[in-house]
Amino acid sequence: MKLYLFMPRTLTAYFDNELMDAEIAYKLKYYEQSWRHLERAHILGQPYPFAHTLVHWKMLKFGFKTKNIQEIIGQIPRLIFGGVKSFVGKVPTGNTGGANVPPLKPMEIPEDLMIFIRNA
């Protein structure tokens, strides 16, 4: 089993862009688009404990900003355990990280993100 603490620099740029796009979309009140960018950042960051935890923190904040009780309640355990699962290499590949999906369910990775991951 290979452990990853930090995201490779080649992948960090895509991860950071997704987080930035999520913030921009939120400020423009494009909430669904903002959430999709957070999900994409989650897919990219979930193998890396710090990035994984950061995305769940941002998802929790999104839940508070949008007053989404389901998301708030769903993000708390993900925030606590997500980084630990990454550290030990036990993440469900492709999972989008929201409370609307089971936390341990593997999901298909979008092709464009798969290219970024493979190249990293």
| Domain-embedded: residue 2 | no
Q: Are 31 and 100 in contact (CB under 8 A)?
A: no
**Structural domain boundaries, residue 115:** 10-119
Q: Are 60 and 98 in contact (CB under 8 A)?
A: no
| Domain-embedded: residue 40 | yes
**The predicted structure's pLDDT at residue 4:** 73
| Domain-embedded: residue 15 | yes
Number of residues that make up the chain: 120
Question: pTM value?
Answer: 0.93
| Domain-embedded: residue 91 | yes
pLDDT in tens, the chain (120 residues): 556 788 999 999 999 999 999 999 999 999 999 999 999 999 999 999 999 999 999 999 999 999 999 999 999 999 999 888 888 888 899 999 999 999 999 999 999 999 999 998
Count of structural domains within the chain: 1
CA distances from 50 to 3, 5, 23, 25, 114 (A): 13, 7, 19, 23, 20
**The predicted structure's pLDDT at residue 84:** 87
**The predicted structure's pLDDT at residue 23:** 98
The amino acid present at 114, given as its one-letter code, is: M
- SS3 readout for 12-74: HHHHHHHHHHHHHHHHCCCHHHHHHHHHHHHHHHCCCHHHHHHHHHHHHHHHHHCCCHHHHHH
Query: Which of 43, 51, 37, 55 has the alpha carbon at shortest distance from 8?
Result: 51
